[in-house]
Amino acid sequence: MARHAPTSAIHLKVLLRMTSNPHFNLIGHQSRFVALARAAMDGRVPQTLLISGEPHLGKSTFARYFAQLLLCENPTQTDDATSLPCGTCHSCHQVAIGAHPDYSVLRPQVSSAENATDAAPTDLVSSIIGVKQAREFSLKAQSRPVNSERKVMVMNQADRMNVQAQNALLKTFEEPARGLTIILLCDNSNILLPTVRSRCWEIRLGLVDDSQIRNWLKTLDGNADDAAIDLALSAARGRPGIAWREWQRSQNGEARSPRLSQIDNWVDQFAQSMPVAALKFSADAQKLAMQWWEEDIALETDVDFNLKGADAKVARSAIAHFLDLLMAVYRVRWRQATSANAANWGAGLDAIRETRHYILRNANTSLALDVLFSRLLGESQVN
């Protein structure tokens, strides 16, 4: 059985200090972190920690703060001697930006499949952590820390490990090298093999109460508009990451522009289009993304710029910017929707956000957009 960090008897002053610390925004899970911090303070640092829960609850943030605590040069002490990361030292800063030599994050590789030529695919090829990545992870785990006494290795989306990868890492999880802490992050720990779960100290993160998210957003801006916060909470459904993202976008404003109007007209066409039209929308989206990116670069630099031959990172950034505009249109439609079809607009918004995430992490761009527009056209048939 997996072990669970205790959450009782947490001193109120510790939670208040964490809530007021500008470097510590772990909304809704402070008590869990304090329990883990106390275990570390008592010399009971888990060798392999498993943090599970729905997407956007703060699992990555939780892992990063714990890594900062283990690697912090000047941990702060609360009134009851609980240690917290200072958030300001060189090590904390390096962990925050992902540059610490003794802190690393492994993410799944997104497969690239052949694009369909006669019909839009129905699903994006799953991202996985295969046995090759697992062996590389295991090999790296054997190396000694560079700058610190400890080393922290995080595996994001650990539930994407295939069976061979999990079996290849069993010994690493059970007997990590001295000074090494492994942190596995996953949405659903039940997908992992029992032999993996039994080697972990598991902490399950749950949905966060709306009142806590509301108070957090108000600390970011004392003059925050209540209506904007209400919309963010409605979209988040207990997930702080989504609440923050939606609230931030509302603060930036979404004034109507010719580009937004053009995309708005696109969305109107979805309901009248056959599923195979997803391929055309995908191709047109890529062309527009490149065209608008070139226009923006030329406007900012006052020189001609052509994306032909530009590196893949620039092209992905152009697509991501296009998807930001598409999300803006969908967000307006979602807010204006009736209760009968709001869920479909919300599902489309989630699909766009997910596709943007995968594209920026090296997914096959054409395939990802084919899948996206196939889903959006399907959703629009019932809106």
Write a three-state SS string for 300-367.
HHCCCCCCCCCCHHHHHHHHHHHHHHHHHHHHHHHHHCCCCCHHHHHHHHHHHHHHHHHHCCCCCHHH
pLDDT tens for 332-351 read: 888 777 766 778 888 888 88
Q: In this model, does residue 300 exceed pLDDT 70?
A: no
pTM beyond 0.75: the answer is: no
- Give me the mean pLDDT over the 113-129 stretch: 45
Which segment of 89-93, 239-243, 366-370 scores lowest on mean pLDDT? 239-243
Q: Considering the chain, what percentage of its residues have pLDDT values greater than 70?
A: 79
Q: In this model, does residue 176 exceed pLDDT 90?
A: no
Task: Decide if 366 contacts 278 (C-beta within 8 A).
Answer: no
User: pLDDT class for 88, splitting at 50, 70, 90?
Assistant: confident
C-alpha span between 80 and 358 (Å, rounded): 43
Q: In this model, does residue 86 exceed pLDDT 50?
A: yes
Q: What proportions of the chain, in percent to the nearest 5, are helix, strand and coil?
A: 55, 10, 35
pLDDT at 19: 44
Of 126 and 27, the one with more pLDDT: 27
For 128, the 3-state DSSP assignment is strand
pLDDT at 237: 81
Query: 355: alpha, beta or left, given left = phi > 0 and alpha = psi -120 to 50?
Result: alpha
C-alpha span between 141 and 263 (Å, rounded): 47
pLDDT at 10: 40
- Give me the mean pLDDT over the 194-198 stretch: 94
User: pLDDT class for 167, splitting at 50, 70, 90?
Assistant: very high
Write down the mean pLDDT value for the chain: 79
- Give me the mean pLDDT over the 366-376 stretch: 91
Of 381 and 113, the one with more pLDDT: 381
Of 253 and 103, the one with more pLDDT: 103
pLDDT at 298: 54
